[in-house]
Amino acid sequence: AQSVTQLGSHVSVSEGALVLLRCNYSSSVPPYLFWYVQYPNQGLQLLLKYTSAATLVKGINGFEAEFKKSETSFHLTKPSAHMSDAAEYFCAVSGGTSYGKLTFGQGTILTVHP
Amino acid sequence: GAGVSQSPSNKVTEKGKDVELRCDPISGHTALYWYRQRLGQGLEFLIYFQGNSAPDKSGLPSDRFSAERTGESVSTLTIQRTQQEDSAVYLCASSLGDRTQPQHFGDGTRLSIL
């Protein structure tokens, strides 16, 4: 069985500040990990994915995430927040016996203050 | 279009009525998924179709829920005798089928049960 825990349902940062959204996973097999972003009244858009290649993954809009097996973490970061980054972010894991099925975290709402 | 298309975008219906939600995946995507997103919660997996294989229905919450897919094209999610707890956004996603491949999401159908 797999699970995802996103620490912090709400994160607030100032424009230009570091963004750090935390994600921890549990998986009985090597996981594939994804970060998605959801803007209001829209579907989910892929930010980046980890599929057992490089542990530091770069995505769109300046986001990146590092896979740390020892910590079972896949935290999402961006060096400098922009107002347009305000959205809800979801971490998800795929793998194991649930072929193709994504297990999502509860989501983190990011607010960016001017 | 190039993306996953869902219709209707919004649906309001009375408790006890049946509803049908439609999903048009990206052309060439063999895998199709339905998820449910309740207010303030993460996404729950409902059902997964992969090519001509038997679908994974393990996420369907009750026998009032069913889904069909014709070949590798359109899918329909049907909810019979709707209840108020069925109110949610229903998201469809498609992918190339390999679990390393990201899922591409539609904008969802917002279902409100009165």
How far is residue B2 from each of residues A28, A35, A114, B9, B38, measured CA to CA in Å? 35, 22, 35, 17, 27
Beta-carbon-side half-sphere exposure of residue B11 (alpha carbons within 13 Å): 25
Q: Which residue, among A3, A49, A52, has the nearest Cα to A24 in the 3D structure?
A: A3
Question: Which residues does residue B47 pair with via DSSP β-bridges, in sequence order?
Answer: B34
pLDDT at A99 over 70: no
Tell me the C-alpha distance between B9 and B109, whole Å: 4
Return the SS3 of B77: strand
CA distance B107 to chain A (A): 4
pLDDT tens-digit map of A81-90: 999 999 999 9
Q: Cβ A101–B59 below 8 Å, yes or no?
A: yes
Q: Which residues of B touch A32 (CB under 8 A)?
A: 99-100
Q: In what order do the strands lie in the sheet with A73-78?
A: A3-7, A19-26, A73-78, A64-68, A56-58
CB burial of residue B75 (10 Å; 0-12, 13-18, 19+):
buried
Average pLDDT over residues B32-60: 90
CA distance A32 to chain B (A): 7
Average pLDDT over residues B22-49: 92
pLDDT tens-digit map of A19-57: 999 999 998 777 899 999 999 888 899 999 998 778 999
Q: Cβ A103–B45 below 8 Å, yes or no?
A: yes
Q: Which residue, among A43, A100, A59, has the nearest Cα to B48 in the 3D structure?
A: A100
Check residue A88 and give its pLDDT: 96
- Could you give phi then psi for residue A86, rounded to 5 degrees? -65, 120
Q: Cβ A49–B100 below 8 Å, yes or no?
A: yes
CA distance B76 to chain A (A): 18
Check residue A41 and give its pLDDT: 81
Check residue B53 and give its pLDDT: 85
Check residue A1 and give its pLDDT: 76
Tell me the C-alpha distance between A81 and B74, whole Å: 39
pLDDT at B8 over 60: yes
Which site among B57, B104, B105 would you substitute to test the A interface, given the most A Cβ atoms closer than 10 Å to its Cβ? Answer: B105
pLDDT at A101 over 70: yes
Query: β-strands B5-7, B19-24: how paired?
Result: antiparallel
Return the SS3 of B85: helix
